[in-house]
Structure 1
Amino acid sequence: MSSKSYPRSRRVAQQAQQVLSELIRRELRDPRLGMLTLTEVRMSKDLGYATVYYSVLGADPATAQEILTSAAGMLRGPLGRVLGIRHSPELRFVHDELIETGARLTALIRQAVDDDQARHVESSAEEIPPAEHPEPTPERRAAEDGLEPDGV
């Protein structure tokens, strides 16, 4: 793979995501974080800044933001050492709302489909009038016409 098709900043970002996940799991033992997932890390081209996108389950995103922002300085040193780069990147944490948005859109789509199906069932019931006279059988038709039914 050539470096132009896969820039160094992207390779370092993937490694930073793995390292930060482990550091946060090991070093930050704050129960207010809930289940934290790092969804993506984006590095600047000069590797001076890392934007870390995260999602939380079972915790308030604002509280998680405060905890992560205050821990950024503590995480920066070990991250730089493990990555083997001269200057550790400045960490910026951003709550990733993509998962919540996707779940909300899925629920809306499911609701729309259910409503459409219910509407279809209601309109089908309205189109078919209740049977005042049952559909005549072949035997009944033959008797009404004065003919003998088939097979007799």
Structure 2
Amino acid sequence: MIRINEEIKKELSDIIRQDLKDPRINQTMVSVLNVDTTNDLKYCKIYISIMGDEEQKQGVIDGLKSASGFIRREIARRINLRNTPELIFKMDDSIEYGIRLSKLIHDVNSNTEDDSQ
């Protein structure tokens, strides 16, 4: 399953980057963070991170959901699986959360250095 998940993740990243023409998706930076496929290959949860405001995030999710048939067909063509799973896109804000924490730590450190001088 780990190998299948990694292969789906690689192909999905390639499809999003090169093959999708939806302007909602191409305007923002979209990263595929994790793929979790069920053992029976019926469903595949795809965790994605999107840099942008809430409106852009919702637009990307809507664009991916509307293109899920095309994406599923492309994955079936590129990867030889018994069943091609149904794709479920989930938002993952961990990258934005990490960036925000890093910025807060940097701000605290710079304020501490300013106070000590």
What is the TM-score normalised by the length of structure 1?
A: 0.67
Conserved 8 A contact 1:72-1:91: yes
Tell me the equivalent position of 1:92.
Answer: 88
- Match of 1:29, SS state, is coil
**CA separation in 2, counterparts of 1:28 and 1:106?**
32
Deviation at 1:36, TM superposition (A): 1.9
Deviation at 1:74, TM superposition (A): 2.0
**CA separation in 1, counterparts of 2:77 and 2:44?**
15
Larger radius of gyration: 1
| CA offset digits 1:46-71 (Å, max 9, x no partner) | 22211112223357111101101111
Residue of structure 2 aligned with 1:61, choices 45, 57, 61: 57
**Bigger shift: residues 65-74 or 103-112:** 65-74
- Match of 1:46, SS state, is coil
- How many residues are paired up? 113
Tell me the equivalent position of 1:50.
Answer: 44
Residue type of the alignment partner of 2:69: G
| CA offset digits 1:8-27 (Å, max 9, x no partner) | x1110100011112222333
Conserved 8 A contact 1:80-1:86: no
**CA separation in 2, counterparts of 1:77 and 1:107?**
41
Deviation at 1:119, TM superposition (A): 2.4
Which protein has the bigger strand share?
A: 2
Let me know the Cα RMSD of the aligned residues: 1.7
Deviation at 1:105, TM superposition (A): 0.1
Identical amino acids, percent of aligned pairs: 32
Residue of structure 1 aligned with 2:67, choices 68, 71, 83: 71
Unaligned runs of 5+ in 1: 1-8, 122-152
Which one scores higher on RCO, CA 8 angstroms, separation ≥ 6? 2
Conserved 8 A contact 1:13-1:42: yes
Deviation at 1:104, TM superposition (A): 0.1
Which protein has the bigger helix share?
A: 2
